[in-house]
Amino acid sequence: MPKMNVIVDMGTSNVSVFCKNLLLREPNIALIRRKNGAELVAFGSDALNMVGVTDENCSFICPVSDGVIVNSEVAGLIIAHCLNKVLSKKLFTAIKIYAVIPCGLSVAERESAEAAFYKAGYKDVTLVESVLGFLPFVDGAGTAVADIGGGTTELAVLTDKGILSGCSLNVGGKEIDRRVKDKVLDIYNLAISEFAAEKLKTEIGSLYDNNAASMSVAGRGVLDKSVRREDISAENIKGPISFCYKKIVDVAESLFTTIPSGMVRDVAARGIYFGGGGAAMHGLQDFVTKYLGINAYIDPEPETVILRGIDKLIESGKTESFHK
């Protein structure tokens, strides 16, 4: 009986499992109880709903930081939980895991990623750098791509065979959230949660100039400690958002200096293709064209482009660029 192929992306913000067009996507946070070992009490949205109602033996753990698995034990529990939800092991003799990873992980970081799957009970694991998921969607060799995730942004120039040059930048959605949170504190003397900062970013965040949008959020006043609401303007949070995206385009520009001059012309002609949750930021295409002087293209479904692309590569047998 043939193996069942499953793609797993253990992201900083979310865990995604893709199998036969079935997608499971949950926040990457676990509620863990420790007695004679680690026990998974709740995961994802269920774990978030239990904030403030747990006992002293429980703790919330995010096992991935800046795209790297930092707690393989908890990551293994999450992987086992997620795969048990989408798979019935009785139906298949073997399961093949394709694990999505950032560009340029060290040997130790790769081993940590593999260890999480081993602890979940899966031994047949192939590591796949996330930017390879763009290959089915880009036009030939010499195309720049960027995957803006929760913890990192993966940048690369691709050829027909794989990655010509690539790097991982520790700037993503979480960093933007933290900077938005700090800006609200600075301007409004209002301490808000990172969840509220994320809502501001996704609801009114923009890279356009003169955005008149605003949004009301609740927080705690720094001076009097009272809970109050403030209308936050899009213009006042544009600074931290622009700062992070400018970092991304600056690194992209530096990346182009590492490839042959003939390939630079190809990149300039074909532009740069964006995926990941951060690609949904309003004004990104104009922002990129302004600073890089090339066209920017956003995948219609940016949050799943990597999973869909890797699935296409597996189905077509074009896996020679994957790490065995």
CATH, range 137-171+245-303 = 3.30.420.40
Comma-separated ranges of CATH 3.90.640.10 domains in the chain: 173-240
**pLDDT over threshold 90, residue 91:** no
Burial of 165-181, coded b for 16+ CB within 10 Å and e otherwise, reads bbbbbbbbbbbbbebbb
**How far is Cα of residue 201 from the mean position of the Cα atoms in its chain?**
15
What confidence tens digit (pLDDT) does each residue in 270-284 have? 999 999 999 999 999
Tokens of 194: 């990172």
Strands, E assignment, 141-292: 143-148, 153-159, 162-169, 190-191, 214-221, 227-233, 272-275
Whole-number Cα distances in Å, 214 to 121, 211, 226: 48, 9, 22
Q: What is the pTM of this model?
A: 0.90
**Beta strands at 95-101 and 125-129: parallel, antiparallel or unpaired:** parallel
Distance CA 162, CA 261 (A): 18
Comma-separated ranges of CATH 3.30.420.40 domains in the chain: 4-123, 137-171+245-303
CATH assignment of 173-240, given 3.20.20.70, 1.10.357.10, 3.90.640.10, 1.10.3720.10?
3.90.640.10
Q: Is residue 138 within 8 Å of 270, Cβ to Cβ?
A: yes
The single residue listed with the structure tokens 């795969």 is 83
Q: Is residue 35 within 8 Å of 59, Cβ to Cβ?
A: no
pLDDT of residue 324: 54
90: Cβ–Cβ under 8 A, 6 or more apart, which residues? none
What confidence tens digit (pLDDT) does each residue in 177-236 have? 999 999 999 999 999 998 899 999 999 999 999 899 999 999 999 988 899 999 999 999
To the nearest 10 degrees (0 to 180), the angle between helices 234-256 and 173-188 is: 140
Confidence of residue 252 (pLDDT cuts 50, 70, 90): very high
Whole-number Cα distances in Å, 119 to 50, 70, 115: 26, 14, 6
| CATH superfamily ID and name for 4-123 | ATPase, nucleotide binding domain (3.30.420.40)
What confidence tens digit (pLDDT) does each residue in 154-170 have? 999 999 889 999 999 99
237 φ/ψ angles, rounded to the nearest 5 degrees: -105, 5
Sign of the torsion angle spanned by Cα atoms 17, 18, 24, 26: positive
% the chain with pLDDT above 70: 96
The single residue listed with the structure tokens 């109050």 is 228
